[in-house]
Chains A and B, each alone.
Chain A
Amino acid sequence: MILLAQQLINGLILGSVYGLIAIGYTMVYGIVGMINFAHGEIYMISAYLFAIFFALCGAFGVDSLPAALLATLVLTVAVTGAYGWAVERIAYRPLRQSSKLAPLISAIGMSLVLQNYVQLAQGAREQGMRSLFDGVLRFGSETDFFQITHIQLLIVAAAFSAMAALTFLIQHTRLGRACRATQQDRVMAGLLGIDTDRIVSLVFVIGASMAAVAGILITLNFGSFNFFIGFVAGVKAFTAAVLGGIGSLPGAMLGGIVLGLSESLFAGFVKTDYKDVFAFGLLVAVLVFRPTGLLGRPEVEKI
């Protein structure tokens, strides 16, 4: 029972992070129809940026923790957004007119470039950051307990508020309406006066910002990262996006949470080594019975 509760908490945390990264995948797929393979590397870069900017704040003598954190947060999200924008401009925009596969190869190349760029610039070793919050909430008896740390609470809160803010942006603002219009029919949206290039860039920046939030939260939680975390997280998050129905924003979050929970429960109760196998198996099972994912809209093919 205690183990179940602990695994559920772990799964929720993991799932929130997957969900945040999956948002980037699903929004980009919805609007330009391509899988942004470099998105995982953007997440990895945000982890490095967070550590760098936080250390910079310390070097500049910013003593108060909330101020340093706020400044670091803003800087990290901004620069990560810049990376997302740059990747789109360089690798994907020239290929807008081409087949599905050309941007995919370009994305894989870009992913290689980013991974090796960070590896060469920052070194190949594991990086670490000291734990900033030490608080923890314990439930149960002295010896047999499950816990949730303050950082983990922050992760869940941040993930859900980011989701809420994004949903508000997409559903209730003019910019969001432009995004939805571009997603539905890019040519028509262009004819109606929407600058589709700018909207596509904006979507990439939003996706990168969400990944930045995920990267910050993960660094706060685990304290360590290296240049390779992007690949694994990217594949898992993409799985989550497909699981929830690619193109659907709530689907990305739902898919993330389902994936995180099932992975955590499987790892806790069956076997840790095969948790990734289970995750992919789950994906195949869902897709066999619901080919468009849990919340995906069935694609109506006009003949």
Chain B
Amino acid sequence: MTPKGSPAPARRFFLRPARSGFLVGAFGDAALAAGIGAVLFVPILGLVLDRTGVTPHLERAAAAVALLFAGRLAVALAVRTGAWARLTEGAQRAGAPLWTGWSRGWRALAGRPRTGAALALAALAVFPFSPFANGYLLHVLSLTFIYILLAMGLNIVVGLAGLLDLGFVAFYAVGAYGYALLAQHAGVSFWLAIPLTAAIAACAGFLLGFPVLRMHGDYLAIVTLGFGEIVRMLLVNLTGITGGPNGLATPRPTLFGLAFTASPPAGTRAFHEAFGLEFSPSHRSVFLYLAILAFMLGAVWVFQRLKHMPIGRAWEALKENEVAARATGIDPTVTKLAAFMLGASFAGVGGVCFAGLEGFVNPSSFTFIESAMILAMVVLGGMGSVAGVILAAVGITVLPEVFREFGSYRMLVFGLAMVCIMVWRPEGLLRVARRSLERSSDAA
């Protein structure tokens, strides 16, 4: 809406600057907020339904209202004294990098992404052999890598091509169940399943992409959402093929035929036998961790290459302005289908890794909330950005684990965090500077 070249409009947060007297105004704002809070909190928090009627728990509502009053008063005072403006200066300036407020050391590292990435990679590769590692941590990290892989796939569809896909979990499910079914009916091993399910998922991507080619924006969103739900419902209901709500078991990956079990099936050797080690369940965890790490790195590398290839440029052109892109000779059909198919194949690989990690698949792992979380990773990280999406994926996967102490408050805090981060930095954590020949005054 603002013409190119003019400075981005100063973002007005929802707090108005001082109009009336200083303290009175602040107290007035806080009182208004508390009043509305009372209307909201007293019924739901304060009156709990039970068999016979309602039980008053008004102290909970009172506590919530008091908290709201105090918080709003603090913010109102901060706004009026100018402290708020100073604190949010970095976020207010469009294009300010995330690390403006950090210390010099971290900023130096953040400014040199390659060194940082190399260090992180080395740390991750060595981690399983360090004394800090245990089964739980390795499992969480392996899951994180799978989510990074998925986020890279969605980053192609949403971040680069701008196609709002809310049903990405369907391809994830196709990958996981594809491996399960191939192993069950054709005895396909993990390593062979990776390229096969990538191809199968790509076909699913084609099936989704074809009807939605002419749709835009929110129509596309609801159709992809529907596709995700359809796949999930088929998985639940086709009990004969998919095992229904119980799911299917999947075999674990092997290293060139060496199984990671204590007693291998007849005719095969076990890993610990071949290398003369004592059997330990950690061998499999470490092997899976390293294998998934390798796949994740492969996915990140492929994404980086795709972004800079002509197809990546074509996607970004389509995202910006489809008519102009068509005018320059880009075929929207092929380009969009390519986005769907490539993104789906990433998800398929992720699904196989997940199935190999968990040892079984069932429909409860492939709900809409998974799609929403992966989408959140892409948007929070900055659409099209690699480092940002990796950061966001790590944050979103690791945060609920860290919050396990909160117990049942986990998802509430998670939702609040999502809202707060989007309000604070709507463009994502790391903005993607587009490579162009001209220097633009603002990085919009």
Q: A residues within 8 Å of B by Cβ? A: 29, 35, 45, 48-49, 51-53, 55-56, 58-59, 79, 82-83, 85-86, 89-91, 93-95, 97-106, 108-113, 115-123, 127, 187, 231, 235, 238-239, 242, 246, 273-274, 276-277, 280-281, 283-284, 287-288, 291-293, 299, 301, 303
In angstroms, Cα B418 to Cα A98, docked, is 16
Q: Which of B408-439 contact A (CB under 8 A)?
A: 408-409, 411-412, 414-419, 422-423, 426-427
Nearest chain B residue, comparing its CB with the CB of A231: B368
Q: B323 within 8 Å of A by Cβ? A: yes
Q: How far is the CB of A247 from chain B (nearest CB, A)?
A: 10
- Tell me if A86 and B47 are in contact (CB < 8 A): no
- Tell me if B217 and A86 are in contact (CB < 8 A): no
- Tell me if B44 and A45 are in contact (CB < 8 A): yes
- Tell me if B419 and A242 are in contact (CB < 8 A): no
Given the contacts A102-B379, A303-B323, A276 and B218 also touching, CB distance less than 8 Å: no
Nearest chain A residue, comparing its CB with the CB of B57: A121
- Tell me if B233 and A274 are in contact (CB < 8 A): yes
Interface centre among B230, B234, B369, by most A CB within 10 Å? B230
In angstroms, Cα B425 to Cα A106, docked, is 11
Interface centre among B215, B222, B225, B230, by most A CB within 10 Å? B222
Q: How far is the CB of B12 from chain A (nearest CB, A)?
A: 8
- Tell me if B423 and A29 are in contact (CB < 8 A): no
Q: How far is the CB of B242 from chain A (nearest CB, A)?
A: 13
- Tell me if A113 and B44 are in contact (CB < 8 A): no
- Tell me if B13 and A94 are in contact (CB < 8 A): yes
Q: B158 within 8 Å of A by Cβ? A: yes
Given the contacts A79-B40, A82-B40, A273-B237, A291 and B49 also touching, CB distance less than 8 Å: no
- Tell me if B227 and A121 are in contact (CB < 8 A): no
- Tell me if A58 and B226 are in contact (CB < 8 A): no
- Tell me if A59 and B53 are in contact (CB < 8 A): yes
Give 12 A-B pairs besides A53-B43, A91-B423, A102-B422 with Cβ atoms closer than 8 angstroms. Answer: A90-B14, A101-B164, A106-B418, A112-B414, A113-B416, A121-B44, A121-B45, A122-B44, A246-B219, A273-B237, A276-B230, A277-B233
In angstroms, Cα B237 to Cα A122, docked, is 31
- Tell me if A102 and B49 are in contact (CB < 8 A): no
Across the interface, B44 reaches (CB within 8 A) one of A29, A49, A103, A273, namely A49
- Tell me if B415 and A113 are in contact (CB < 8 A): yes
Nearest chain A residue, comparing its CB with the CB of B327: A303
Contacts of B380 in A (CB 8 A): 105
- Tell me if A86 and B233 are in contact (CB < 8 A): no
Contacts of B419 in A (CB 8 A): 90-91, 106, 109-110, 113
Minimum-distance CB pairs A-B, first 3: A109-B418, A112-B415, A280-B226
**Mask for B348-375, Cβ within 8 A of A = 1, else 0?**
0000000000000000000011001001
Q: How far is the CB of A103 from chain B (nearest CB, A)?
A: 8
Given the contacts A59-B54, A94-B14, A273-B237, A112 and B412 also touching, CB distance less than 8 Å: yes
Contacts of B53 in A (CB 8 A): 55-56, 58-59
Q: How far is the CB of A270 from chain B (nearest CB, A)?
A: 13
In angstroms, Cα B54 to Cα A58, docked, is 10
Q: How far is the CB of B221 from chain A (nearest CB, A)?
A: 7
Q: How far is the CB of B37 from chain A (nearest CB, A)?
A: 9
- Tell me if A105 and B376 are in contact (CB < 8 A): yes
Q: How far is the CB of B36 from chain A (nearest CB, A)?
A: 6
- Tell me if A283 and B226 are in contact (CB < 8 A): yes
Nearest chain B residue, comparing its CB with the CB of A78: B39
Q: B240 within 8 Å of A by Cβ? A: no
Contacts of A99 in B (CB 8 A): 426-427
Q: How far is the CB of A126 from chain B (nearest CB, A)?
A: 11
Q: How far is the CB of A95 from chain B (nearest CB, A)?
A: 5
In angstroms, Cα B422 to Cα A108, docked, is 11
Across the interface, B164 reaches (CB within 8 A) one of A100, A187, A246, A281, namely A100
Across the interface, A94 reaches (CB within 8 A) one of B48, B375, B423, namely B423
Contacts of B383 in A (CB 8 A): 101
In angstroms, Cα B223 to Cα A120, docked, is 32
- Tell me if A82 and B36 are in contact (CB < 8 A): yes
Contacts of A45 in B (CB 8 A): 44
Q: B329 within 8 Å of A by Cβ? A: no
Q: B9 within 8 Å of A by Cβ? A: yes
Q: How far is the CB of A163 from chain B (nearest CB, A)?
A: 22
In angstroms, Cα B230 to Cα A235, docked, is 12
Contacts of A101 in B (CB 8 A): 158, 164, 375, 379, 383
Contacts of B14 in A (CB 8 A): 89-90, 93-94
Given the contacts A55-B49, A90-B419, A100 and B217 also touching, CB distance less than 8 Å: yes
Q: How far is the CB of B368 from chain A (nearest CB, A)?
A: 8
Nearest chain B residue, comparing its CB with the CB of A292: B219
- Tell me if B230 and A108 are in contact (CB < 8 A): no
Nearest chain A residue, comparing its CB with the CB of B208: A284
Q: Which of B50-103 contact A (CB under 8 A)?
A: 53-54, 60
In angstroms, Cα B49 to Cα A45, docked, is 13
Across the interface, B415 reaches (CB within 8 A) one of A109, A122, A280, A291, namely A109
Contacts of A98 in B (CB 8 A): 426-427
Q: How far is the CB of B155 from chain A (nearest CB, A)?
A: 12
Q: How far is the CB of A30 from chain B (nearest CB, A)?
A: 11
Contacts of A293 in B (CB 8 A): 219
Contacts of B234 in A (CB 8 A): 277
Contacts of A120 in B (CB 8 A): 408-409, 412
In angstroms, Cα B222 to Cα A98, docked, is 21
- Tell me if A48 and B44 are in contact (CB < 8 A): yes
Contacts of B418 in A (CB 8 A): 105-106, 108-109, 112
